[in-house]
Every structure is written in C-alpha cells, then in structure tokens.
Amino acid sequence: MSNVSTLLCPCCDKAIESSTKVCPQCSQPIAVSAASLSTMEMPLVNKYLKGYNKILATDPHNQEFIAYAAMCFLRLKLYDKALPMFEKAIDGNYDSSEPYFMAAICQLRGKKPFLTQRADIDKSIKYLNAANMLEPKAIHYEFLSYIKQDYFERKYLNIHPSAQDEHRTALQYGLDEKTMETLTFLLGG
C-alpha cells in the first residue's frame, strides 16, 4: 500500500485521497483495468501512464500503481516495459492473481504461442499456474488452453492437462463471451 495519503488523479491532476476510486473532477477511474483499457483511446492511455509515473516518482514501491502503469504499457504493446513492472508488482504481493496473469500475457509479447520461444511459453504457464493457485478464474484456464492448443498441439507435443482439459475447467469457472473478448483483447487481437 501507498505511504502517500494524497495523490493526483492520473487523468486530470486534481488532488485526491488515496482511497478514491473515481475522480470527482473528471469522473475517470483512478485505476485502469483490462476492461477499462479496452475502450480507452491511446492518448488517454498515455495520459494515465504519465500520471502513474508522477505517482511512482514519489512512491516508487507502490505495487498497485506499478501494476496500473504496467497495464498502460501492455495496452501500448510495450511488452518489454510492461513485463518487468508486472514482475515488480508480483514481488512480495501474493494476494492478487492479476499481476501473474498479466505477466503471462506479456511473455508472449503479442505473438501467437506457436511463434514464441519455449522458455517464454514455460514461463507464461508458470505465471498462469501461480495465478490459479491464488485465484482460479475462467480467463486463466482459457489462456492455458490457448497456449497448449496453439503451441503444444500444433507442434505435436504432449502436455497434461491438455488444451481440452483446460478449456473444460474454464467452462466450469464460468467462461463466457465477455471473458473471451477480454482475453482476445489482451492478446492483441
């Protein structure tokens, strides 16, 4: 958590309390998410990133804002900047599955699993398994299914659980169209 009690809105620079979720001045959310970024125009993403960087300049160990800035880098498809920030957000924070999931996304660097190096595939799977240990979610399992189908099955490599097993698990956790749209967006599609 932040040591700073007052900070500036990353969108309009109005002073806000650290517990504020939506800025009273500009009505924009303080925190970005995959869902909010999917509809956000690039100039606004850049504005948020600048705001988060200002916050991190005064509170460089604030894991929440590190993760928010990393989300902006991910939206800008700057995977090599986003990944170390997600890893920093993970360090010492074992409560949230989100940084692990986002680090797994970054490991692919916007490429299809089939075109990704095996070491990056293995690391992505490691992050997804850690995310599922903290908080099993349909999107995590569907991403595992996608990796296993596109990388392992296309290369005729055996892996257990299979892509179909992971997909069935995703369905058990409530996989729906919105979750699929979010995953497709995050994967750069």
Quick one: pLDDT at residue 2? 41
Per the DSSP assignment, residues forming a β-bridge with 108 are: none
- Across 8-12, 86-90, 124-128, least confident range: 8-12
Phi-psi region of 13 (alpha: psi -120 to 50; beta: other; left: phi over 0): left
Contact in structure between 92 and 124 (CB atoms under 8 Å)? no
Position 17 scores a pLDDT of 79
Calculate mean pLDDT across residues 74-93: 93
Please determine, for residue 1, whether its predicted confidence score (pLDDT) is greater than 60.
no
Q: With beta carbons less than 8 A apart as the criterion, state whether 62 and 55 touch.
A: yes
pLDDT for the residue 13: 82
- Range with the poorest average pLDDT among 8-22, 65-79, 114-128: 8-22
Question: In terms of pLDDT, which residue wins out, 34 or 187?
Answer: 187
**For residue 6, is pLDDT > 70?**
no
Average pLDDT of the chain, as a whole number: 91
The model's pTM is 0.88
At residue 20's C-alpha, the angle toward residues 74 and 32, to 5°, is 15
User: How many Å apart are CA 25 and CA 58, to the nearest integer?
Assistant: 22
- Tens of pLDDT, residue by residue over 124-143, are 999 999 999 999 999 999 99
> In the numeric block, which tokens belong to residue 151?
């990388």
Give me the residues paired with residue 17 across strands.
6
More confident: 166 or 12: 166
Distance CA 183, CA 26 (A): 29
Name the E strands within the chain.
6-8, 15-17
| Domain locations in the chain as residue ranges | 1-93, 99-189
For the chain, percent of residues with pLDDT exceeding 70: 97
| pLDDT at site 25 | 87
Torsion-angle region of 67 (φ positive above 0: left; ψ -120 to 50: alpha; else: beta): alpha
Beta bridge partners of 15: 8
pLDDT computed for residue 40 by the predictor: 86
Q: What's the mean pLDDT in 45-62? A: 91
Which residues touch 180 (CB under 8 Å, ≥6 apart)? 142
State whether residue 54 is helix, strand or coil. helix
Mean pLDDT of 14-23: 81
Phi, psi of 30 (to 5 degrees): -75, -40
CATH number of 1-93: 1.25.40.10
Alpha-carbon radius of gyration of the chain: 17
